[in-house]
Structure 1
Amino acid sequence: MPTPRETILTALYARLSALPATTLRGEVLPERIPSEGLLILRDGEPGEPEVTLSPLAYHYQHRAEIEAVVQGADRDAAFDTLTVSLGAALVANRTLGGLCDWVEPEAPRPVDLAVAGAASLKAAVIPVVLHFSTADPLG
């Protein structure tokens, strides 16, 4: 049986996979970026939990990361479209179907990256804070 953390990350990945962009989880950046854009979900860092003792519970603010990448002549507009659709998908279901307490995306910090012999990339890491509680930090 998967842990609450894995269940939540799987639900987040499924949410991202419904977008028109190609979505990967924990993969390296491919050589070619799909025309509709690319999202790569990184599991991120759970951080130090707050602990309550009665009943015992660990309250996490897990910081996952989504790498958003577009390429092409109109990459500014494509990046904007991709991030707006990502934000709308997350805001539409802030609890991922009741699996976590709250999903909180943060603003991207886009950068333009030159690629030798190809169109430049526009990319950003978008932190997503997943608020949830569990009775066991390992299970």
Structure 2
Amino acid sequence: MPTTRELILTALHARLSPLAALTLRDEVLPERIPAAGLVILRDGTPGEPEVTLSPLRFHYQHRAELEVVVQASPGRASAFDDLIAAIGTTLAADRTLGGLCDWVEPEAPSPVDLPVEGAASLKAAVIPVVLHYTTADPLG
């Protein structure tokens, strides 16, 4: 049976999969970026939980990351902005991932331009996504 953490990360990936951009989970950056862009969900780290004792519960603020990359030649900035906005809209539509999570909160991206030799440069950012959830077991 999957852990609470895995269920939430799987649900987050499924929630992002309908985006126009290719959405991967814990994959290496491919050699070619699709025209609609690329989103890679990194599992991140659950961090130190707050603990309540009666009943015993572990309250996590798990920090996952979304690596967002766009390489469209004309209109790269606009395509990047559209993808970021689509991610925001998608996450805002269900902040509990179907009740698996207490709250999903994306943080602001810090975009960078990455030069690519012999090709259009990449516009990329990492978007931290804080997943608030509770488990009865720190390994679950």
Q: Do both share a fold (TM > 0.5)?
A: yes
CA distance in 1 between counterparts of 2:91 and 2:120 reads: 29
Paired position in structure 2 for 1:2: 2
Cα offset, 1:72, TM superposition: 2.1
Number of residue-to-residue matches in the alignment: 139
CA RMSD of aligned residues (A): 0.5
CA distance in 1 between counterparts of 2:81 and 2:15 reads: 19
Identity of aligned residues (%): 76
Paired position in structure 1 for 2:44: 44
Cα offset, 1:49, TM superposition: 0.1
Question: After superposition, what is the alpha-carbon deviation per residue over 1:30-54, rounded to whole angstroms, capped at 9, x for unaligned?
Answer: 0000000000000001000000000
Paired position in structure 2 for 1:13: 13
5+ unaligned residues in a row in structure 1: which ranges? Answer: none
Cα offset, 1:128, TM superposition: 0.1
1:56-135 mapped onto 2 (5 Å cutoff)? 56-73=56-73, 74-135=75-136
Cα offset, 1:18, TM superposition: 1.1
Moved over 6 A (4+): none
CA distance in 2 between counterparts of 1:18 and 1:98 reads: 19
Question: After superposition, what is the alpha-carbon deviation per residue over 1:71-112, rounded to whole angstroms, capped at 9, x for unaligned?
Answer: 022210000000000000000000000000000000000000
Secondary structure of residue in 1 paired with 2:89: helix
TM-score normalised per structure 1: 0.99
CA distance in 2 between counterparts of 1:108 and 1:43 reads: 17
TM-score normalised per structure 2: 0.98
CA distance in 2 between counterparts of 1:131 and 1:58 reads: 11
